Amino acid sequence: MKFTKRDAERVGEVLKVKPKLQKNSFLFNVGKTSLEIFPKIKIGKKSGTLVSVYTPYSHLQLHFCTGYVASDLLGEVTFISEHDGRVSGLIIEVNGACSFYANLEKEILSGDFTKLEPQVMIPGIALSLGELLIEKKIRK
């Protein structure tokens, strides 16, 4: 994924904050929550996009982000990472709330949610917006 200045502006539109361009990242302050996106950073032996969220009580990171969905309707941005049939996602809302889901089987995103246990259904629904990103990647 190539995260650009235009992408940062789009994320800022949804979160209702202006992105601050740092040396090698974009910073968004959403209430007491900070979102920092590093478009290209060394992660181990490879380079990729890193998404970090800092709250007064936690620090969350999504390594090798492969795409995002910015939803004005929901007032949130969902960042997705997909690897070997597994999906992880970090969601940040316009009020600064955030959620993180890791290692979901991608089939859960498009399956029949009524057949899942509630604990599995919730992240499946939350990350289902990212299914379009994963399908586009597969088609390439």
SS (H, E, C) 26-44: EEEEECCEEEEEEEEEEEC
Q: What is the pLDDT of residue 117?
A: 72
- The three-state secondary structure class of 7 is helix
Strands (E), the chain: 20-21, 26-30, 33-43, 46-54, 59-62, 67-71, 76-83, 86-93, 98-105
Whether the full predicted model's pTM is greater than 0.95, yes or no, is no
The span from the CA of 42 to the CA of 67, in Å, is 18
Q: What does each of the 140 residues of the chain score in pLDDT, given as a tens digit?
A: 899 999 999 999 999 999 999 999 999 999 999 999 999 999 999 999 999 999 999 999 999 999 999 999 999 999 999 888 888 999 999 999 999 988 887 766 666 667 767 676 556 556 666 555 554 553 33
Q: For residue 27, what are the β-bridge partners?
A: 20, 36
Q: What is the pLDDT of residue 123?
A: 60
